[in-house]
Amino acid sequence: LCCAGLEACSWQDRRHPLVCLLSVPRLGAVLCEGAAAPPQECLRRLVGVFPGAPDAGAFDALLAEPLERRCRGAWLLSNFITVLERYLMPSGESAAKAIALWLSWMCWAKDRLPAGAPDAAAPAAGPLQRLHSAAFVRALVATVDTRDPEGLLSVCQLYFSAAGGGDGEPPAEVLHTLAFATPLAERLFPTLAGLLQGGSMEAVLTRLGPPAFATPEAMRLRIFCAMYALQMQPMYDYEFFGSANPLRLEDVQALTPFLNRLAYHFVTSMPSRAALEPPARALRSSLTSLVCLLYNRHCRRPILTGENAWIIPESRLLIRRAPVVDLGADGPASEAGDAAMPAADDDDQMDVEEPAAPSG
């Protein structure tokens, strides 16, 4: 009867009753119990009536309502996880479209967890614990077609979307599972071609959507940098320059100068990490971390050719504009010079040095 009523509603009008229905405590487990025909038929019809996920901010008041020691939003996410794990994922390729739609709703529900809610602050206490378990991550990735970067990206959006006002950084266990149990970096790299060929760094930064940097391209770049950095860390040099590297050497050689320039322009145009929005801060961190790893690798065995391959041309002008500090005197001039120099950002370590002039 409920499914028949939902089917009679317009797509737009279905969202509110669906949110109310699926935020009922433990409804997902009830629907998925056993192999009885009525629950299975109900699930099939229920999944079939889902429209696209609501807009951000929709139903916030409803989802914040307390219900059996949790908020409705936590129960909603819990039911989504249960149905995905016990009904949709075992269905395999036949449920591919339904899984993609389900994941978009799960991203929305996860983002709606109120800040300070038990399930947002302590994943071990609720549905986020199940979502973040290595077994669940591996099973979900195995269900998605790994040949399709958009399919893997939908999984990553689920794990990298913010919950409870955070920056969307998943737990270390999830990061390692995604990095080493999926071909994510290899699949995502071709999707960055538009950025690599995007012209000036100002144009690239604009495409990434400042100041929030929450566009799909920014998400792809952030996830790629995070995954590739993790994959690089345990590689020996012979592995990095060989077949163990998920990217070809020519791809790395094209990528490295781009990331180096982008990181430089990001840091110099928005030097204060504290002033950045959470997605922007996460992108900057993953970007600069990967650049540092590539540079350290280059110092052991060159990735790029040329003595000044890592020098940003614009940095010469920045250095020349720096105030002159009298290091031989203690006084107002020295103090003013010290105050004018920005504090180093320990997390970024994007120091740029001008090469020394040749002697003689």
Question: 57-88 pLDDT, tens per residue?
Answer: 889 899 989 988 888 988 999 999 999 998 88
- What pLDDT score does 350 carry? 52
Helix (H/G/I), strand (E/B), else coil: 66: strand
Task: Going from the first residue of the chain to its last (360 residues), give the mean pLDDT of each consecutive group of 10, the final group possibly shorter.
Answer: 76 89 90 64 82 86 89 91 90 78 89 59 59 87 73 82 65 89 87 88 92 89 94 95 95 95 91 88 93 94 88 63 41 39 46 42
| Alpha-carbon Rg for the chain in angstroms | 24
- What pLDDT score does 38 carry? 55
Burial bucket for residue 234 (CB in 10 Å: 0-12, 13-18, 19+): exposed
List, as one string, the DSSP characters of 105-137.
Answer: HHHHHHHTSPTT-HHHH-GGGSHHHHHH-HHHH
- What pLDDT score does 355 carry? 41
Rounded-to-integer distance, Cα 147 and Cα 105, Å: 23
- What pLDDT score does 329 carry? 39
- What pLDDT score does 128 carry? 77
Residue 28's nearest CA partner among 7, 17, 43 is: 43
pTM above 0.85, yes or no: no
- What pLDDT score does 233 carry? 94
